Amino acid sequence: IERSVIGIRSRIGNDSKVSNTYMMGSDHYESLEDIEKNNIKVLMGIGERCEINNAIIDKNCRIGDDVKIIGGKHLENTETDSYFVKDGIVVIKKGMTIPSGFVL
């Protein structure tokens, strides 16, 4: 983790790299019971082996394993249901799930 602010109750998986990022955190913890009961595939927070750079991650987001989100001037301003890019900064919207293997 470099030059980043990590919010309360945030989870960052093993071998993940986070830089120049503001991660707002979560409103609550997910218990093992909740995960099993609700058959949750992507856990709250950042999964394993991810690379996140130049991003803002709003509250209660789920980012799967092996995700690459590299913000920068190479990205055009755009908006989708789960994220938008403005001036090279990627913003993951509140409560969104980014699937494993996603690359931006």
**Domain range annotation of the chain:** 5-98
Q: Is 87 in a helix, a strand, or coil? A: coil
Q: How far apart are CA 93 and CA 13, in angstroms?
A: 20
Q: What is the mean pLDDT of the chain?
A: 94
Per-residue pLDDT tens for 25-75? 999 888 888 888 888 888 899 999 999 999 999 999 999 999 999 999 999
Question: pLDDT class for 13, splitting at 50, 70, 90?
Answer: very high
Q: What is the pLDDT of residue 31?
A: 81
Q: Helix and strand tally (H, E) in the chain?
A: 1, 10
Domain 5-98 has CATH 3.90.650.10: no
Q: Which residues contact 92 (CB under 8 A, 6 or more apart)?
A: 55, 56, 57, 58, 61, 63, 69, 82, 83, 98
